[in-house]
Amino acid sequence: MAARAVEVGLERLYRERYRVLCRLACAVTGDLERAHEAVQEGFTRAWRARDGFRGDGSLEGWVWRIVLRCALDARGDAVDTPVDAATAVALPFPERDPLLAAAVAALSPQRRLVVFLRYYADLETPRIAEVLGIARGTVAATLSQAQAELRAALTQTEEVGS
Amino acid sequence: VSTSSDRELARRFARQDDAAFAAREGFDAVIGRERATPRRRQGRWLAAGGAGVAVLAAAVAAVAVRERGPHVRATATSRAVAAPATAATGTTDVRIVAADPAAAARVPVTGATPLEEGIVRNALALLGGPSPIPAVQFKDTGTGRDLVVRDVAVGNGADAPRWLALRFVQVVVARLRDARERVGWVTDLESGQPGGPIEGMDAPPPPVETLVQAVRAATHRGVRLHADVYPIGAVVLRARLDEATFLAGDVVAHTLTAALDRFPGVALAGSIETPDGTSLGNFGHAWNVGGGGDGGRVARDAPPLRGRTRLDFTIAHSGLNGTATATRRLRLDCQTPSASSGVADVAGACTALMQRRYDLFSYGLTEHSCAPSGGDAITIRGLLGGLPVRRDDDPCYVGDVIGRIETVLGIPPGS
């Protein structure tokens, strides 16, 4: 990928995807300030390393991985903590929907992260697979199981609460 | 899964969006400095002459390694620096790890050009011996160069795994950059899976003598501090707290690292231990890569302390939305049990708190930030064995400490 194309692409991603990147960074760090720092640091690292982007995958997937790495760093995770499906995330505003917060907290870490990437980061299955470095089929299956689990938990909770 | 379910989840997650997530600065503001000088790091190490830095000299030597071989000069063995005058009752001893070209020469380096191999071996030498890195590989991907450093051993007694290897990678990347070669991708240190780009260092590490002075400046009352200083610009700290300092709970990672944090080129790893050597946790950082965390603890019986034990506990439980649902206040007075309140078995609690204090009073070493998801908190004030105790713990730090203390005090956890 030409260097200029990467630069233009990074600027476009910053303009168009900052908000969702920041959302997920906040779900990882649990702190708004650290989330902003992680996203900005992620773009700074990506810019510095832009010559190393070889275009094997999408630029957006590459940026997502870097930002998630920065969010883990900002959270204080060990430097060798992998950016993978076990990355812990939580709703930033659980008080806005306590039932959903409880339901997603009950998911396994892998299902939870896939759900967050799908619904909170607005990523489609292929992109989630790219970000997490897993097969698309695995993402689809995980997402399907998580949806079923969430639907059951939310239905049950709301029935009990009504 | 029905489409309606999909839409319903999307709708509910949308309520977690917030205007506060919008970018606060434009792309130019964030990247502007980088954009203005897009190759500002190129050759910066080499331009930083006059510093008299061993690593810098090694970098220069590495560039010429094709003809002359590695140039790192090493003393025969690592040397200890005499303990300096202590501050109050704190002590600090420092060991300077000697560069070890012989150990570096034994590490297999494959797929490297002569320039790359020279740079790698010089950097390896600065880690001392035996090398914590078993093998290094370069791969030509067709569109770039990959550096593979995998199966890294825990380095030279440090409890923070792989940080020294990360420093090694940063140095190699920086020196290759100085030699106008870019490594676009560094394979994950642990799993061998592709990782992210790792940046080189902007500035050369400070001289070893400067690091030693900074370590000495970290001397703290009630702390027995040991430091290993590596010529690659890395420092390992191991701090053993005395009883009073542990119970006071006010020595954290930053207490020890503040003096070293002034130097941007330093990679730091450390641990803090209770008086019997039980780890409270590890901390550390390397260039542009944060790190830290609390290590596992192994509960052991602690020796008894003579002196009065009278502790006040405030335990607050909160609901999911952060609203307090229950707050308990208890007092434990081991010398005057009748003055206790809320504790079913005073004698049992006194024994347990004294014996298991290194576990029950463990605390976090680094600043964390909790999601605003509610949770529990505990405050402890008073004396244990005549020594002041102060704890303000919440789930950000040691999640199950509250539950364990509740058990000791005879309270059903979470009630």
Mean pLDDT of B80-99: 67
Q: Do A97 and B16 touch (CB under 8 A)?
A: yes
Mean pLDDT in chain A?
A: 83
What pLDDT, on a 0 to 100 scale, did the predictor assign at position B43? 28
- Which helix (H) or strand (E) segment holds residue A153: the answer is helix A136-161
Using an 8 Å CB-CB cutoff, list chain A residues near B290: 73-74, 76-77, 79
Which of B15, B23, B162 is facing A96, going by the closest CB pair? B15
- Position B88 pLDDT exceeds 50: no
Q: Which of B115-119, B288-292, B324-328, B377-381 has the highest mean pLDDT?
A: B115-119
User: How many CB atoms neighbour CB B323 within 10 A?
Assistant: 9
User: Which one, of B20, B56, B70, lies nearest residue B208 by Cα?
Assistant: B56
Q: For residue B91, what is the DSSP state?
A: E
Under the banding of pLDDT at 50, 70 and 90, the label for residue B352 is: very high
Q: What is the pLDDT of residue A84?
A: 60
Nearest to B270 by CA among A152, B349, B359, B260: B260
CB B21 to CB A19 under 8 A? yes
pTM over 0.90: no
Please tell me the distance from the alpha carbon of residue A16 to that of residue A7, in angstroms, as a whole number.
14
**ipTM of this predicted structure:** 0.90
Place of tokens 């949770």: B375
d(CA B249, CA B303): 18
Q: Max CA-CA distance within chain A? A: 58
pLDDT (tens digit per residue) in A83-121: 665 677 889 888 888 889 999 989 988 899 999 999 998
Residue B255 confidence (pLDDT) above 70:
yes
Give tens-digit pLDDT for B312-323: 999 887 654 445
| Residues in chain A closer than 8 A to B23 (CB atoms) | 14-15, 18-19, 22, 39
Pairing of strands B267-273, B279-285: antiparallel
Q: Say which residue, B38 or A130, is predicted with more confidence.
A: A130
Residue B202 has what pLDDT? 60
Confidence of residue B400 (pLDDT cuts 50, 70, 90): low
Q: Residue B130: is the preceding peptide bond cis (ω within 30°)? A: yes
Closest by Cα among B227, B231, B201, B203 to B216: B227
Instruction: Tell me which range, A141-150, B23-32, B385-394, is most confidently predicted by mean pLDDT.
Output: A141-150
- Across the strands, what pairs with A115? none
Q: Rounded to an integer, what distance in angstroms lies between the CA atom of residue B171 and that of residue B202?
A: 10
Are A151 and A144 a contacting pair, CB within 8 Å?
no
How many Å apart are CA B284 and CA B253, to the nearest integer?
8
Query: What is the pLDDT, as a whole number, of residue B51?
Result: 28
Q: How confident is the model at residue B2 (pLDDT cuts 50, 70, 90)?
A: very low
Decide if B312 touches A, using CB distance below 8 A: no
Cross-chain Cβ contact B368/A75 below 8 Å: yes
| pLDDT value of position B128 | 86
* CB spacing of A98 vs B321 below 8 angstroms: yes
In the block, residue with structure tokens 């290094």: B136
Higher local confidence (pLDDT), B87 or B162: B162
pLDDT score of B371: 41
CA atoms within 13 A on the CB side of A160: 7
> What would the two tokens of residue B256 be?
């020890």
What's the mean per-residue pLDDT of chain B?
A: 72
**Residue-level pLDDT at B142:** 74
**CA–CA min distance B84, chain A (Å):** 32
- Residue B205, pLDDT score: 75
Res B193: pLDDT: 53
CB contact under 8 A, A15 and B27: yes
Higher pLDDT, B2 or A127: A127
